[in-house]
Structure 1
Amino acid sequence: MFTNVKSLEPAKHGNLRLRDTTDYLFAAQTMMAPVVFSEIADVALEYPITFPSRDDLPLQVLLGFEKGRNAYVSKDGRWLAKYIPLHFQRYPFALAKRDAFSPDGKQAYSVVFDTDAPQISETVGSPLFAPDGEHSPILSDRMQLLEKFQKSEIATQRALSVISGCGLLKPFDLRVRTATGVVSLTGMRRIDEAMLNSLPDHNLGELHRSNALALIYAHLISLPNLKRGPLAGEASGVATEGLAGTLIIGDDDMIRFT
């Protein structure tokens, strides 16, 4: 999705504008996307949440079963769910770590952006910078969104570390049977419910204090989204260009479209 990332600088990019658009074709090939704690309640209602294969990777949602296919984006660029994850709301901007720290010892970040993003223009949209080089209102709003995402991402990673430390994650490899054949999905993990139910009280307390229990419940609640919504070929009763068929999840984690 981010194809040509540059640091945003008023001296170099003072003429750039941000177009307001509802065209999400830029995300049409994104199969997985990071999500953070602050949005988890909204995400769990419409997306299947999975844990990454490594503890240093972000919590993620599955957006498609076939490579290069985001089932939540229609052919004409509409987003086929009510809630749009912050990862896509912040685009074309992101925060990148710098080799520097603030006076109080905190990690410093630079604002970067995708120069190839369809939202970026020199002639259409709202200016990113005021004539004096200060942030415009629309860029200030995006900065607040970036800061919100970054802070929540840190809290999410802490919770993931606690979940992993309690031994609650197991591989979640899926095989999806579609009309054109079987697709294998790997590199994900899920909560081991048997391990969760047998945890001692002190571990449960640790999960609660770190907000990890909320992530666990959101993950478990979200899994039926594998068989409904855009992934199953329907979007809340509205005709979509999602994957067609009736979804069946068996005890062997085989997902079948019939």
Structure 2
Amino acid sequence: MPNHALLNNNEHKQMRIITQRGAAYGDAVMSALTFPAEFRELQAHYPIVFAKNQDGTSFDPIALFGFQQGENLFLGSGPGLEGWHKGGWDAPYIPLTVERQPFLIGRPADGSQDGMLIHVDLDSPRVSATQGEPLFLSYGGSTEYLERISRVLRSIHDGLETSKGFIEALLHLELLESFVLDIELNDGSQNRLAGFYTIHEERLAKLSGEQLARLHEAGYLQAIYMAVASLSQFRELIERKNRMLAGANAADR
């Protein structure tokens, strides 16, 4: 279970965060939650699909990293990336809900909605006293890294709030449809991706000018087209899977 604590510069002044990417740090995940404002960045690297939320009453947009639980085809041991993401993630953009780990937004103890507080999961493998990015300066102020995390958390909070109206609009116009992706890999194995939804392109094409204008005015139309465009990334995801299997087979010889 996560061990969340309110971040402060007294108790956590020596805390550092390991920003290297890898399975050991919790990055071996199939997908990550996202939101419409992030679709433009994501669509160049990951397929964006929709999944029913936990109670089955609505949907969440997600970025896919693999074809099965625990599979992240973007993890590797290559030369790494620049900046805070330096490590084993083979894409120049990492979804914000992944980047924010091990931090999350908390509410004040009195339950008020005023202000948002940064909490940290003390049991996260990213938390260290000796490695990684420091959070606080010697005089107690926030480091540039922590300021970045604060902006990331704000973007996630605002993005998820906007996402609610976006999903409602898609459902109202019946623009989500389930899909099944059958894949034959280079080794001859058959694989199926199911349980997700995507934009119904035929219905989208039949929307009236007034309906399209309303989507545009709400700021949703671009996100819809970004989600459609992102589906071309399935080809690259399949190639990543083929390369992974080929490397595993070569290592076994």
The one-letter code of the counterpart of 2:183 is: V
Equivalent position SS for 2:43: helix
Count of paired positions: 232
Q: Distance in 2 between matches of 1:118 and 1:5?
A: 12
**Any gaps of 5 or more consecutive residues in structure 1?**
235-239, 245-258
Is 1:68 aligned with 2:61?
no
Match of 1:95 in 2: 105
Maintained 8 Å contact 1:31/1:67? yes
> C-alpha deviations, 1:169-214, integer Å up to 9, x for none?
1112333333374333333111111111222233222211222211
Q: How does 1:46-195 map to 2 (within 5 A)?
A: 46-54=45-53, 56-74=58-76, 78-96=88-106, 100-102=111-113, 109-130=116-137, 135-178=142-185, 179=187, 181-195=189-203
Provide the rounded CA distance (Å) in 1 between the counterparts of 2:126 and 2:191.
33
| 8 A contact 1:74–1:242 mirrored in 2 | no
2: CA distance, partners of 1:167 / 1:97:
35
Cα distance in 2 for partners of 1:116, 1:186 equals 33
Measured in 2, the distance between the counterparts of 1:85 and 1:193 equals 25
Tell me by how many angstroms 1:81 deviates.
Answer: 1.5
- TM-score, normalization: structure 1? 0.76
Bigger mean CA deviation after superposition, 134-143 or 87-96: 134-143
Indicate the RMSD between aligned Cα atoms, in angstroms: 2.9
Does residue 1:15 correspond to 2:14, yes or no?
yes
1:35 partner letter: T
Letter in 1 for 2:227: H
Instruction: Give distance in 2, aligned partners of 1:23 and 1:187.
Output: 28
What aligned pairs does 1:191-206 form with structure 2 within 5 A after superposition? Answer: 191-206=199-214
Task: Please state whether the residue corresponding to 2:222 is helix, strand or coil.
Answer: helix
Q: Could you state the TM-score of these two structures normalised by the residue count of structure 2?
A: 0.77
Give the Å deviation of 1:30.
Answer: 0.4
* Residue 222 (structure 1) shift: 0.9
Q: Percentage identity across aligned positions?
A: 26
- Spell out, residue by residue over 1:214-237, the C-alpha distance to the aligned partner (whole angstroms, 9 max, x if none): 121111111111012x44228xxx
Amino acid at match of 1:139: L
